[in-house]
Amino acid sequence: MDIHVVQPGDSLYQIAQQYGVSMDRLLQDNQLPNPSQLVVGQTIVIRYPALIHVVKAGDTLYSIARSYQTTPVRLLQNNPGLQGSDRIFPGQALVIRYQDQPEGSLTVNGYAYPSMDGKLLTAVLPYLSQLTPFTYQFTPEGELIAPQDEALVQAALQAGAAPILHLSSLTEEGFSGELAHRLLSNPEAQSRLIAALTETARSKGYRGVDVDFEFLYGQDAQRYAQFLTRLRQSLAPLGLPLTVALAPKTSDHQAGRLYEGLDFALLSQAVDFALLMAYDWGYPGGPPMAVSPLPQVRQAVDYALNYFSPERLLLGIPNYGYDWPVPYREGNRAVSVNNVQAVRLAWDRHASIRYDAQSQAPWFPYVGEQGQQREVWFEDARSIRAKLELALERGLGGVSYWNLDRPFPQNWAVLSSLAEIRSGTEDQAGFFPQPVV
């Protein structure tokens, strides 16, 4: 795989000629909405097929996979133009394998809202080991509040991805430390919630549970670990691993509402796996900067590895960016943009995309419709490669995307080039190795 950065005067035809691939291959691998609208600084992923099959009458995706001793899922990964569908036609050229040699294997998780577009979900499911519907909530008394998750669970199971039940302390006002405190201070409420979680996971076909309590009070750090220990003991007879989602701490006594209630030493003994939410350094209420700057991500990963063995840790990766008004003033807020929208915005506003070498992130300034100066930071193929290579370099168990509701075709091309994606039908919901006991 190569990543081409568009230069002034480039056309897709010239890029294809330069790398010795077809324009159709570039269009499919990058899912470009308009190939004539290339932005200076935009990335184009170049993949090199090693073996191609031309579909004949009577072929199916399954028969082709069988004849080449591969799997339908791998064919879907290698042919993003199929958009996750097994519909093929005579004369169609399918990539059986690329020249890429994976650098390692990863469990790949992604969060999704129940409202996620069905076509987009179908397109990304082949790249997932796990799918996590967002989110189950609870009352202070331990009553479980379920989302409309049935369609997502069934889609995951049909695609061979493991559905993971997500429990959070989210309320209408945001994540609540007070809600968590009231639960953690009430053993009976905890028992009620644990029983409901265990039964729901069993009855709906979930393959694991992921717990995300944020803005915990410092006084609740030990209670949180004790609650997770109890939940894990309830899930264990069903063979369901427990994951805890963690803010990206970098020291034991780090100040701040996000960190003070998270004791990594205690939590590492309470759960099977941890998901490090390594994003939102750049956030709507703060100054413009990379959402997930690589030096800070690396520091957070290395701190977490003091307590979790690499195979027990998943690296959270953002699938979004922000658009800020500048200069930054307290009270001004950025708006969220997806990575495809960011490139389109650069085209519309005649901006060139730049790349910050230190944070390993793309950005660009532009002038808004009202003449206001603005600045966008987002993710592209280069920044995604940097984070995936960090996960592989550190030997992490996997990665997790927040979230899947925004299209980002280049991510999947880079991911499937760099890593072997573990199947969600494996033991322990695509995790490797077995969780600790």
Active site residues: 214
Q: Which long-range contacts (CB under 8 A, 24 or more apart) does 225-228 make?
A: 225/263, 225/266, 225/267, 225/269, 225/270, 226/270, 227/183, 227/184, 227/190, 228/267, 228/270, 228/271
- HSE-CB at 129 with a 13 A cutoff on CA atoms is 26
Write the CA distances from 278 to 86, 95, 295, integer angstroms: 35, 34, 11
421 vs 404: CA distance, rounded Å = 16
One-letter amino acid of 117: D
Q: What are phi and psi of 322, to 5 degrees?
A: -135, 150
Backbone angles phi, psi at 58, to 5 degrees: 95, -15
User: Do residues 46 and 2 touch, judged by C-beta distance below 8 A?
Assistant: yes
Using CA atoms, how far apart are residues 145 and 80, in angstroms rounded to an integer? 36
Give strand pairing partners of 168. 212
Q: What is the C-alpha to C-alpha distance for residues 166 and 206, in angstroms, rounded to an integer?
A: 10
- The residue behind tokens 């959070």 is 168
Nearest to 377 by CA among 286, 306, 300: 286
The residues facing 318 across adjacent strands are: 402
**Cβ contacts of residue 176 below 8 Å, gap of 6+?**
169, 170, 215
**DSSP states of 222-249:** HHHHHHHHHHHHHHGGGT--EEEEE---
CA–CA separation, 292 and 316 (whole Å): 10
Q: How many other C-beta atoms lie within 10 A of the C-beta of residue 188?
A: 9
Q: Annotate 31-69 with b (16+ C-beta within 10 A) or e (fewer).
A: bbeeeeebbbbbbbbbbebeeebebeeebebeebbeeee
What DSSP element (H or E) covers 163? Answer: strand 162-163
